[in-house]
Copies of this chain bind each other. A is one copy, B any other.
């Protein structure tokens, strides 16, 4: 994510030089964890990890832990574990979507087939729990497994609601919570737990993470309608072509009666039709409103940090991440 990358300097400036050091150790650990289960899995799990991504969840683990957490032995394993669960979900999603490319690289599904992709995802899941259990924190394992259950439920909800343009805003938000916000929440909880923080602080940092995750998903959905392919790496309206009904479309339907009467599955079949629908959604002002909603959620999330005893620039760093999530073009 270009904008998060651009703000990494500012985040490090605020949080301290231990953050890039730990992030590098997380990368090393991810490579180790992807290996060690036979050459085939090592190749595909390794490729999945190496394909990278924003590493936003590990970053949240480190920032929620704060400077004292940097010393905690559980911090790197916790950061690696959340990224493994995230990666596992992506590999399985690609099976469900029969997706050939992710982040511009061939998916495990494309290179190795369905069986390999399902097994690779299962392995990444298992390794995540193994890594986290090794830290000795039962509370962390529980937090991660709650998030991982939510991910599975969210993925299903999305498929269940596919092509149903009449889905309500609340149900859409609940889906975002399951699909995205809960793992962000767990990331902050895991960081706080690794740093040995009190229950109240763990819960508040978790609530912060949940808001950031929710806003992140909302903005992803806005970008799918507004973003240009050169920024996001995919064409506008891919969600629409997949039948995934997101907030921009839900809001636009309330404002444009003809659009509300449209049958997505029949009328939005080509990339050109999706592009045209994106413009039509944008014309209703739905994108601006959806983005405003994401900004409001971030503002609310930041309130969770009030009154917490956070070290040095920790709060600033967390707020910068929250802002970067809604202030991005890809």
**Chain A interface residues (CB < 8 Å from chain B):** 37-38, 40-41, 88-89, 92, 95-96, 114-116, 118-123, 125-127, 129-130, 132-134, 136-138, 141-142, 144-146, 148-149, 151-153, 155-157, 159-160
Residue in B closest to A139 when the chains form the complex, CB atoms: B133
Pairwise interchain contact B125-A96, C-beta atoms closer than 8 A = no
The DSSP consensus for interface residues of chain A is helix
Lowest 9 A-B CB distances belong to which pairs? Answer: A130-B145, A133-B141, A123-B152, A126-B148, A122-B152, A126-B149, A96-B115, A129-B145, A133-B142
Least distance between A168 CB and chain B CB atoms (Å): 15
Complex Cα distance, B122 from A118, in Å, reads: 10
Pairwise interchain contact A116-B159, C-beta atoms closer than 8 A = yes
Taking CB atoms, residues of chain B closer than 8 Å to A96 are: 114-115, 118-119
Among B38, B137, B151, point to the contact of A122 (Cβ < 8 A).
B151
Pairwise interchain contact B146-A130, C-beta atoms closer than 8 A = yes
Pairwise interchain contact A41-B152, C-beta atoms closer than 8 A = yes
Complex Cα distance, B213 from A221, in Å, reads: 47
Taking CB atoms, residues of chain B closer than 8 Å to A152 are: 37, 41, 119-120, 122-123, 126
Taking CB atoms, residues of chain B closer than 8 Å to A115 are: 96, 155-156, 159
Interface centre among A95, A116, A137, A152 (most CB of B within 10 A): A152
Taking CB atoms, residues of chain B closer than 8 Å to A116 are: 156, 159
Complex Cα distance, B119 from A122, in Å, reads: 11
Least distance between A301 CB and chain B CB atoms (Å): 25
Pairwise interchain contact B153-A41, C-beta atoms closer than 8 A = yes
Taking CB atoms, residues of chain B closer than 8 Å to A89 are: 122
Pairwise interchain contact B95-A153, C-beta atoms closer than 8 A = no
Complex Cα distance, B131 from A126, in Å, reads: 15
Pairwise interchain contact B122-A145, C-beta atoms closer than 8 A = no
Pairwise interchain contact A149-B130, C-beta atoms closer than 8 A = yes
Least distance between A132 CB and chain B CB atoms (Å): 8
Least distance between A34 CB and chain B CB atoms (Å): 11
Given the contacts A156-B41, A157-B38, A126 and B145 also touching, CB distance less than 8 Å: yes
Complex Cα distance, B125 from A284, in Å, reads: 43
Complex Cα distance, B50 from A296, in Å, reads: 45
Interface centre among A92, A96, A122, A159 (most CB of B within 10 A): A122
Complex Cα distance, B109 from A118, in Å, reads: 13
Complex Cα distance, B141 from A142, in Å, reads: 10
Pairwise interchain contact B155-A119, C-beta atoms closer than 8 A = yes
Having A115-B155, A116-B156, A130-B146, one finds 17 other A-B pairs with CB under 8 Å, namely: A38-B156, A40-B156, A40-B160, A96-B114, A96-B118, A115-B156, A119-B152, A120-B152, A121-B122, A122-B125, A122-B148, A126-B148, A127-B145, A129-B129, A129-B144, A134-B138, A136-B138
